[in-house]
Chains A and B, each alone.
Chain A
Amino acid sequence: MRSFVPPLSRLLLWPSLMIALALWLKGGASVGGGFPAGALAGLAVLLQYVVAGRDQARRYVAVRYAAPLAGVGLLLVVGTAFLPVLGGYTPMSLFPRPDQPEVGVGGLHLHTALVFEGGLMLIVFGLVVTVIDRFALRTGTEEESGP
């Protein structure tokens, strides 16, 4: 009998990623944020690794380039923190400033904190996926060359 787990896990990937994105975008207003979003997205990929194996999971570009994504995330974080310095603001000034009006499209509020949180998400995602990938790589070679 075929197990229901592999098809189900494939089915779960995109909804999980959507929820992760939602967690990120809604982070400023309600429960969520970049950190849980990154962890959730990482978990979704982790499921693919466990069920489908490394080769299948690595079909996705974001998985292959997880470590560089973390670098991009760090750039976003550091950029949001220190680019305002060029404009004469203190480091970690977010826009719009507290006394400025909010900018928003529908339920989404545009704020540089969103970029910052996006950076967090990419870093956490990159860390989780890279570590999984390395573990998977190692266990794979172990089995081949093992006793």
Chain B
Amino acid sequence: MSILLPILLALACAPLAYVAGRWRTGAAAWVGASGALAALGVLAHGWTQGPARVVLPWAPTWGLSLEFTRDGLSGLYAAMALGVGALVVVYSRAYLPHHLAEEGRSPREEVRFHELLLAFMAAMVLLVTVDDLLLLFVALDLTTIVSYLLIGFDREDPESRAAALLSLVLTGATSVVFFAGAMTLGLQYGTFSLPLVIERAASNPASTGALVCLAVGALGKSAQVPFHFWLPRAMAAPTPVSSYLHSAAMVAAGVFLLQRLYPLFAPATEVRDGLLAIGFLSMGLGSLMALVADPFKRVLAYSTIAQYGYALVLVALGSEGAPLYVAIHAPCKAALFLTAGAVTQVTGKKKLSEVGGLRHSLPVLAGASAVAAAGLSALPLTAGFFKDEVFFHALAKEGPVVMAAGLVGAGLTLAYTLRLWWGLFGGPRRDVPAAPRLLVAPVVVLAGLILLGGLLPGLLVAPARAAAETMRGEPSTLELAYHLDARAENLLAVGAWVLGAALFATRRAWTPGLSRVLRRTALLGAERGYRLLLHLLDRLSTWLHEKEVRDLRDRVASVLVPTGLLGIAVLGVTPLRARFMVGTVGWADVTLVMALAFASAAALATLRAKGHLMLVLLISCVGFSLAMVFAFAAAPDVALTSVLVETTFTLLFAGLLALLPEARLRRAQKESQKPRGRDRLAAGVAGASAFLLSWSALSHLQAERVGQRTVELAEAAHSPNVVAAVLTDFRGLDTVGEMSVVVAALLGVTSLLGLKKGRR
């Protein structure tokens, strides 16, 4: 049970913040952050007790259960989500009031922000601790939905709404692809439980199609090529959102999925080669864009694409350093994002070309962010050094081409990180007001952690090894230490620093050319393809809408005609047709036929009805005659319900007619008196099919079907009334669903009719 405690604590954070926020706006952040830290503490305590699993049966007959795990991967990622989450919530306490004031919104909305951020944290913790393919998908979609709300937090701003929608569509669509992959695996192995799937995959490898589907879901989340373009757009979000979602949480989810599912990918070398290529591509593209981007949040966004490209390369190579890489990158990137937010708040500027020389006014922030930048670009004495060490270590086994690509990537990282830091803090002195302490403190804490990891690398070894063991399913021998010798890792690192420094020193020479080239390639990039696809889909939906909805008769026909054709097909050509054979009509059926004749007479009379009230009464006549049919067919329950529902609806219809404007009713009446040719055709098809199907159904009232068995089961279920037994027991879940629809309809009626009154 202690596995569930951190999850439950994380889930409780958002409601607690809400309650605290009701009391006092400022308290929400503190309560939420303490909740996150408490969950972190419990997690760390549980960590000392070693790995464990808990399985809660949910629907055992369907083989579904809720499975949670405590292992190296879940511990590492949950700690990252909780720790960075707590710091970002504290930071938001200082950031949000200013931000809301600038947007002209109520300070109370700060509480909503904290709730969403904490809800996202909970979804993330859930995602990393579940051990079941279906729950994995559910948690993935939870993060997508909350991220939509967070990115679109400035809902007055059309740009941020568009960015939120873009990220929702992209990450949502790719997670549906992930779901398809998960379902394929579930069907292939007969279970959704991840350890079982992995165990069975050892003898029977997963299909390539399923793996590609899973990988697409992960790539979408981690903003890798060709799904990368949502991330720079998402920078329209408030900075705390970017610093959390786009460093330690949302984008980490994709790479996490690949690590969690790595045993499935391990035998599929061609899929891993594809991931390797995508990783290098994202690395290159992200780094180049980061070198020329001007808004500093965008620099960081492109850097995130590139850095998760590194992580993807590590996963594709099956390196044991992959989890460690993500875990070290997260605090570095979060700290830089938080720095960017602080600079924007103090100066009001968002672009590198508009700021600079802030090191004198913001010395603490400059120092802390310098540590974070050093960590990002893998300079020694920071934890970041080891993320590149494991990276180069993995590349060194793969040959010179891959090593060269890695060296260039690392060099570009140093170049854009230097450009970013120097652009913010270097250059001629500029004086600005000091930043609030609460804005700077989280950056200092993160910088402290980065330094600590760099000075005492032994602290990182245990969690990194545990995570690597979970990922690869074999003991890990990962070593982290400084070596002062000419090994390949060290040479590559030194080469990268030299390249990065050289690029930074000569930046004036190549920046204009590079940005021109990148602008041109953007014309045929993935984003353009996405827009084209969206445009075409939009046109298709408009066309369908025009065809279907412009006339109510067409709309009804579009439902009735396919149904009718299906019915006729069942009766005419399918192998089932023997079972649906229509019977003969004998003297015993006279009462039935009379009731049906009455119903059809009423139905025919509606064609000539003058006035809507008459129409309503005639239709209710049809209903009552059908109730009579049910009574004759020995279904008193259905007959009773049918009479009651028919009465209610006739009266409600009459009431509704009183609400509609007189002139419109008259016009509709006139129009409906002029039937068109295709209306007759549609009515003919639907009517013939319904007629044959009812005849067939009424011919088999006494037949030996599933009914007999149902009657026996109903006795056993303590419910002699078979209809009640079916409704409440055998098909109980259907009833629950239907009743939810009824309640939804009720809410709709309440709000619609209430709304119109308010508008008057």
Contacts and interface: CB of A to CB of B under 8 A. Distances in A.
A77 B739 contact: yes
Given A73-B739, A94-B732, A109-B718, A134 B745 contact: no
Interface in B20-60: 57-60
A1 B390 CA distance: 99
B636 interface: yes
Contact of A31 (B640, B739, B742): B640
B718 A96 contact: yes
A102 B718 contact: yes
B723 to A, nearest CB: 7
A49 B652 CA distance: 12
A33 B721 contact: yes
B718 A98 contact: yes
B717 A81 contact: no
Interface in B693-747: 716-721, 723-725, 727-729, 732-733, 735-736, 739-740, 742-743, 745-746
Contacts of B59: 85, 90-91
Contacts of B720: 28-30
Contacts, number: 153
B458 interface: no
B532 interface: no
A96 B719 CA distance: 11
B721 A70 contact: no
B717 A94 contact: yes
A142 B659 contact: yes
Mostly, the B contact residues are: helix
B749 interface: yes
A71 B723 CA distance: 25
A127 B750 contact: no
B746 A130 contact: yes
A139 B644 contact: no
A74 interface: yes
A123 interface: yes
A73 B716 CA distance: 27
B401 to A, nearest CB: 55
A105 B476 CA distance: 66
A33 B724 contact: yes
B645 interface: yes
A120 interface: yes
Interface in A68-107: 70-71, 73-74, 77-78, 81, 85, 88, 90-92, 94, 96, 98, 102
B744 to A, nearest CB: 10
B640 A70 contact: no
Interface in A46-80: 46, 50, 67, 70-71, 73-74, 77-78
- Scoring B718, B732, B746, B760 by chain A CB atoms within 10 A of each residue's CB, the highest score goes to B718
B659 A135 contact: yes
B648 A31 contact: no
A36 to B, nearest CB: 5
B712 to A, nearest CB: 11
A131 B739 contact: no
Contacts of B718: 28, 96, 98, 102, 109, 111, 113
Interface string A7-38: 00000000000000001000111111101100
Interface in A114-147: 116-117, 119-120, 123-124, 126-128, 130-132, 134-139, 141-142, 145
- Please give me the 10 A-B residue pairs with the lowest Cβ-Cβ distance, nearest first: A92-B732, A39-B644, A134-B753, A135-B655, A113-B728, A98-B716, A28-B719, A36-B641, A31-B636, A127-B746
9 contacts: A42-B648, A81-B733, A85-B58, A96-B718, A120-B727, A128-B648, A131-B652, A134-B750, A138-B753
Interface of B: 57-62, 636-637, 640-641, 644-645, 647-648, 651-652, 655-656, 658-659, 716-721, 723-725, 727-729, 732-733, 735-736, 739-740, 742-743, 745-746, 749-750, 753-754, 756-757, 760
Given A28-B725, A39-B648, A142-B658, 13 more contacts: A36-B640, A42-B648, A74-B739, A74-B743, A77-B736, A78-B736, A94-B717, A117-B724, A120-B739, A127-B749, A134-B753, A138-B757, A139-B659
